[in-house]
Amino acid sequence: MTYSLILLRHGHSEWNAKNLFTGWVDVDLNDQGRAEAVRGGQLLVENDLLPDILYTSRQKRAINTANIALAEADRGWIDVKRSWRLNERHYGALQGKDKAQTLAEFGEAQFMEWRRSYDVSPPPLADDSEYSQVGDPRYADLGDSIPRTECLKDVLERLLPYWESDISVDLRAGKRVLIAAHGNSLRSLVKHLDGISDADIAGLNIPTGIPLAYELDDNLKPITPGGRYLDPEAAAASIQAVANQGKK
């Protein structure tokens, strides 16, 4: 028995275009992102990979990417589950800051440590910041445990319980699961699935809007390590663009 999982990072957002750290700030897709989502839906159809259930974060760039892609695939009717556990990494005090300016101010080593190290978090975001999510009703269930900053390790630790309790159960029930989420929440899941080391995960970037299909074995481990991007050429170009963010 094998199981079918599709990961989809949201399309370009308004803040991707402005080169700003986003994290938990609820920024919407821009026109490019909506077009990527349409193409993502077409790729699901062309590859005969129609999902049976959708998982998303509570952030509109992932929710809207999924809605557009599924509408394109005439699959807008499938069941949906949303969780903050699939949210983007909380980027702490970097939320709302320009990536290029941050690189210039702090230097490449610090910039890359904050962006891609496994276990170093940026400084926490103050609760009275305009970019804070404290008090946002969508996270009322988190109470005061709502994050003020996170490293990738924190993301994996909040995502894994949900993977075990919900996503794995739907996979094992034979449903093709689509997870529409974010660059760093998907990096943490890919780290888990592919057994990527703490050091090597720094070099992994997820492209926007291109479905990544995994076939999983009985232990929910990938049959083909790294899965398969449904448009490998576009994925390679987008991965390079994500890696180069801040350097322009």
- Which residues carry a binding-site annotation for substrate? 9-16, 22-23, 61, 88-91, 99, 115-116, 183-184
Say whether residue 55 binds ligand 2PG (CB under 6 A). Answer: no
245 lines the binding site for ligand 2PG (CB under 6 A):
yes
Catalytic residue among 36, 88, 150, 182: 88
Does 158 bind ligand 2PG (CB under 6 A)? Our answer is: no
Distance from C-alpha of 112 to C-alpha of 66, rounded to nearest angstrom: 29
**Cα-to-chain-centroid distance, residue 229:** 15
Among candidate residues 43, 88, 84, the one with its CA nearest the CA of residue 178: 43
Interface characters, 62-91, with ligand 2PG (x: CB under 6 A): --------------------------x--x
- Which residues participate in the annotated binding site? 9-16, 22-23, 61, 88-91, 99, 115-116, 183-184
Q: Name which of 18 and 172 has its Cβ closer to ligand 2PG.
A: 18
Whether 233 is catalytic is no
10 is catalytic: yes
Sign of the Cα torsion 248, 26, 207, 150 reads positive
Q: Which is nearer to ligand 2PG, 41 or 207 (CB)?
A: 207
Stretch that binds ligand 2PG, among 19-27, 34-42, 59-67, 226-234 (CB under 6 A): 19-27
8 A C-beta contact, residue 206 and residue 242: yes
**Which residues, other chains included, contact 214 with Cβ-Cβ below 8 Å and sequence gap of 6+?**
4, 5, 6, 7, 193, 222, 224, 227, 228
Q: Which positions ≥6 away from 235 have C-beta within 8 Å?
A: 207, 210, 212, 229
